Chain A
Amino acid sequence: MIQSLIKAFTNLFKKPQTIDYPLTPIAKDKEYRGLIEYGEESCIYCLKCEKACPPGAILFVKTENPSANEKNKKALEYNYNPYLCIYCGECVRACPKPEEALWQSNKKPSVATKEDKVNDNWFVLERLKKES
Chain B
Amino acid sequence: MSKKTINIPIGSQHIALLEPVRFKFECENEKIITVDSDVGFVHRGIERACTTKFKFDGIGYVVARVCGLCAITHSLSYTVAIEKLLGTEISVKAKYLRILLLELDRIHSHMLCLSHTCESAGFEAMFMRIMGDRELVMEIQELLTGNRIQFDYISIGGVNRDLSSEIAQKIRQNLYEVKQRALGYREEFTNNWSLSLKFKGIGALSLDDAYRFNAIGPLARASGLHVDVRNEINYLPFSEVGFVMQTHKAGDINARNLIRLDEIQNSIKMCENIVNGLPEGDIFTKPKGKPNGEALVRFEAPRGELMYYVKGNATAMLERVRIKTPTFSSIPAFSHIFVGEDYADVPAILASFDPCLSCTAK
Contact = CB atoms under 8 A, between A and B. Distances in A.
Whether the complex brings A and B within 8 Å at their CB atoms is answered yes
Interface of A: 1, 3-4, 7-8, 11, 17, 29, 31-33, 52-55, 86-90, 93
Contact of A17 (B57, B135, B187): B135
Contact of A4 (B61, B135, B147, B192): B192
Contacts of A7: 129
B204 to A, nearest CB: 24
Given A29-B143, A53-B58, A55-B58, 13 more contacts: A3-B187, A4-B187, A4-B188, A32-B142, A33-B147, A33-B152, A54-B58, A86-B150, A87-B147, A88-B61, A88-B160, A90-B58, A90-B155
Given A4-B188, A17-B135, A33 B61 contact: no
A70 B41 CA distance: 53
- Of A4, A17, A90, most buried by chain B (CB within 10 Å of CB) is A4
A29 B148 CA distance: 11
Interface residues of B, number: 24
Contacts of A93: 155, 160
A129 B66 CA distance: 29
A7 B130 CA distance: 13
SS class of chain A's interface: helix, strand, loop or mixed?
A: loop
Contacts of B58: 53-55, 90
Nearest to A33: B146
A33 B148 CA distance: 10
Contacts, number: 50
Nearest to B143: A29
Contact of A89 (B54, B57, B135, B160): B160
A1 B61 contact: no
A89 B125 contact: no
Interface string B153-193: 00100001100000000000000000000000001100111
Nearest to B147: A33
Given A87-B147, A89-B152, A90-B155, A1 B193 contact: yes
Interface in B237-296: none
Contacts of B331: none
Nearest to A18: B132
7 contacts: A1-B192, A29-B146, A31-B146, A33-B147, A52-B57, A89-B152, A90-B58
B61 A86 contact: yes
A29 B142 contact: yes
B62 interface: yes
A53 B54 CA distance: 10
B143 A8 contact: no
A1 B135 CA distance: 25
Contact of B146 (A32, A54, A55): A32
A89 B135 CA distance: 25
Contacts of A87: 146-147, 152
Nearest to B62: A54
B188 A31 contact: no
A89 B61 CA distance: 11
B152 A86 contact: yes
B197 to A, nearest CB: 12
